[in-house]
Chains A and B, each alone.
Chain A
């Protein structure tokens, strides 16, 4: 059996491990080791060496991100760690599992990560709808505090860190890391200009690291077992295991921890049980609603950051949405672009005005009422809203599925153009 460090304590329909049982299963060993045997620089080096890459969507190497935080005498004295638990990417359901299923693992991860970057305060930025996760985390934080694993003088080491849950109130854009910082400061959640990056100037101007929940949950295991062990969990260059999910018309939709580099075919057929009877596979968004389509020819690709990028898509959050032959592609895209249009923060024009336009055209095509020129118009939008043209990555994310659908399924778009009614005059 392959190892599943992140989900080893998680059993569906069972209460998560309380502090005592979590410790009995080896929990908080990594925290002890970190505080007693490792200085922060050493932890950052091990995380770098483990080849852990961010699980929030962009895949940025975590150790490298941490190393951008200014350290030393002259560095700003205050620093923050923020866990991005906003999980709102359509089709994504993995961070929920980690927080509901093993809250102490996440809390331990946060304390060690705060120690590594020198943060005195940690915020968990949690979406409001995750009520069960909030309850489980509150209990875990309370238990950890009572046991001196969190607070003023952790395990007698002198290290102090405070941990707060901030529950948000909706809006996808809050998950974008700079919009998230504005949200935490109590402002309207519109993204900030980069640079400066949060690691230099984040929350209230102090150095801040924003990491995804799953990313962080890897840290205690890397500290415990070392970088080499972690790299070897993977079948490819990127380290570790990954939570992969599948939804759509498959037999067993779900979320599994598997080696990084597992093939899409294995995931779909062995774990998700293949397509439901009467449905045929047509394509897949491999890592949430803003990742470009892949199709049957890609099924044997190893699922990792580099392989999917080479194939023109992204690993994203690793939770895939399957398109079948009985679901309308135009309806599918219309649903996604409706989401992106609605969730645009409205700050920049191409995104604010372009997305509703795309949504309207897709709706017309789906009704068979598209006009000549509509398909070119969609192509043009994929360029005008593409990378580098807007203030944040929201609009380019919205264009990923559309651009790839235009490439792989052009016939669906053509079928949506209204056939010209020929008048007698033209006919004559």
Chain B
């Protein structure tokens, strides 16, 4: 079930396009902002609101790497694995992150604190290697600086 708040937010987005279906990605992101991920019941309700089928909306949802159809941790770490970051030290940073968190790419820590995901170029290649946690971009990473960064997120 969509909450009233989610429903209202989706309806506002729908008004910004010529056809309401265009608000599909906006709707998925609104749900995700409220729940952390997009569950089946919310997806079904949103599809109805947008005037399409759940299967169609799921087809859109699963196309995007930043729409989560599974629960994720409280903080999502997006580690850039594209070319400039790879050249400038992605691998040692990745190794250290995996060890610190005790998880592999795509997994969530058992305490639900972090999910670790790979991402394509974050458009900050002059600060490579970089990662994004929630809204914060962290640049010029070294394995040694990860502790301090992670400590900011409980």
Complex contact A253–B120 (CB within 8 A): no
- With an 8 A cutoff between CB atoms, is B97 at the interface? no
Q: How many residues of A contact B (CB 8 A)?
A: 54
Check B149 for interface membership: any CB of A closer than 8 A. Answer: no
The 10 closest A-B pairs by CB, nearest first: A186-B24, A169-B64, A247-B125, A253-B126, A247-B84, A170-B65, A170-B66, A90-B82, A169-B66, A186-B22
Given A170-B65, A186-B24, A186-B50, A96–B123 Cβ distance below 8 Å?
yes
State in angstroms the CA–CA spacing of A274 and B66 once bound together.
37
CB neighbors of B among A161-178 (8 A): 164, 166-172
* A-facing residues in B1-39 (Cβ within 8 Å): 16-19, 21-26, 28-29
Chain B residue contacts of A184, Cβ below 8 A: 17, 22
Residues of chain B lying within 8 A (CB to CB) of residue A339: 82-83, 120
Min CB distance, B43 to chain A, in Å? 14
Residue contact A168 to B63, C-beta cutoff 8 Å? no
> A129-B122, A167-B29 are contacts. A91–B59 as well, Cβ < 8 Å?
no
Q: Which of B26, B50, B64, B88 has the most CB of A within 10 A?
A: B64
- Which chain B residues (116-147) contact chain A, with CB distance < 8 Å? 119-128, 132, 135, 137
Which of B16, B28, B125 is A91 in contact with, Cβ under 8 Å?
Answer: B125
Q: Are B59 and A332 in contact (CB under 8 A)?
A: no
Contact A128 B50 (CB under 8 A): no
Find out whether the CB atom of A247 lies under 8 angstroms from the CB atom of B123. no
Chain B: minimal CB distance from A28 (Å): 24
| Chain A residues, CB < 8 A from B64 | 168-171
Q: How far is the CB of A72 from chain B (nearest CB, A)?
A: 22
Q: Chain A residues near B16 (CB, 8 Å)?
A: 164
Output the nearest chain B residue to A167 by Cβ-Cβ distance: B29
Partner of A129, one of B17, B63, B123: B123
B residues less than 8 Å from A171 (CB atoms): 63-65
CB distance from A183 to the nearest CB of B (A): 7
Q: List the B side residues contacting A342 at CB < 8 Å.
A: 120
| Count of B interface residues, CB-CB < 8 Å | 41
Query: Complex Cα distance A304/B21, Å?
Result: 41
A77 within 8 A of B: no
The yes or no answer to A281 lying at the interface (CB within 8 A) is: no
Structural contact, A88 and B25, CB atoms closer than 8 A: no
Q: Is the Cβ of B126 less than 8 Å from the Cβ of A93?
A: yes
User: Considering the complex, which residues of chain B in the window 44-68 have a beta carbon less than 8 Å from any beta carbon of chain A?
Assistant: 50, 59-60, 63-67
Smallest beta-carbon distance B26→chain A, Å = 8
Which of B63, B121, B132 makes the CB contact (< 8 A) with A92? B121
Would you give the 0/1 interface string for A84-99, flagging 1 where the beta carbon is closer than 8 Å to chain B? 0001111111011000
Most buried by B among A129, A171, A248, A319: A129
- Contacting residues, chain B, for A321 (C-beta < 8 A): 83-84, 87, 125
A92 to B121, CA, bound (A): 8
Instruction: Check if B65 sits within 8 Å of A249, measured CB to CB.
Output: no
CA distance A183 to B26 in the complex (A): 11
Interface membership of B78, Cβ < 8 A: yes
A residues less than 8 Å from B119 (CB atoms): 129, 170
Cα–Cα distance between A167 and B78 once the two chains are bound (Å): 17
How long is the Cα–Cα vector from A321 to B125 in the complex, in angstroms?
A: 9
Interface string of A139-170 (1 = CB under 8 A from B): 00000000000000000000000001011111
CB pair A327–B123 under 8 Å, yes or no, is no
Specify which of B25, B81, B135 is in contact with A186 (CB 8 Å cutoff): B25
A203 proximity list for chain B (CB < 8 A): 18
* The one of A96, A167, A247 that contacts B128, using a Cβ cutoff of 8 Å: A247
A76 an interface residue at 8 Å Cβ cutoff?
no
Contact between B121 and A89, CB atoms less than 8 A apart = yes
**A93 close to B22 (CB less than 8 A):** no
Bound-complex Cα distance A321 to B50 (A): 43
Given contacts A88-B123, A95-B123, A253-B128, contact A248 B84 (CB under 8 A): yes
How far, in Å, is B65 (CB) from chain A's closest CB? Answer: 4
Other A-B pairs beyond A96-B124, A247-B84, A247-B126, 17, CB < 8 Å: A89-B121, A90-B125, A91-B84, A93-B124, A167-B29, A168-B25, A169-B28, A170-B67, A171-B64, A185-B17, A248-B87, A249-B88, A254-B126, A321-B125, A332-B86, A339-B82, A343-B120
Residue of B nearest to A336 (CB): B83
Show 6 A/B contacts (Cβ-Cβ < 8 Å), sorted by A: A90-B120, A132-B135, A171-B63, A171-B64, A188-B60, A253-B128
Asked if A217 is at the interface of the complex by the 8 Å CB criterion, the answer is no
Contact B83 A332 (CB under 8 A): yes
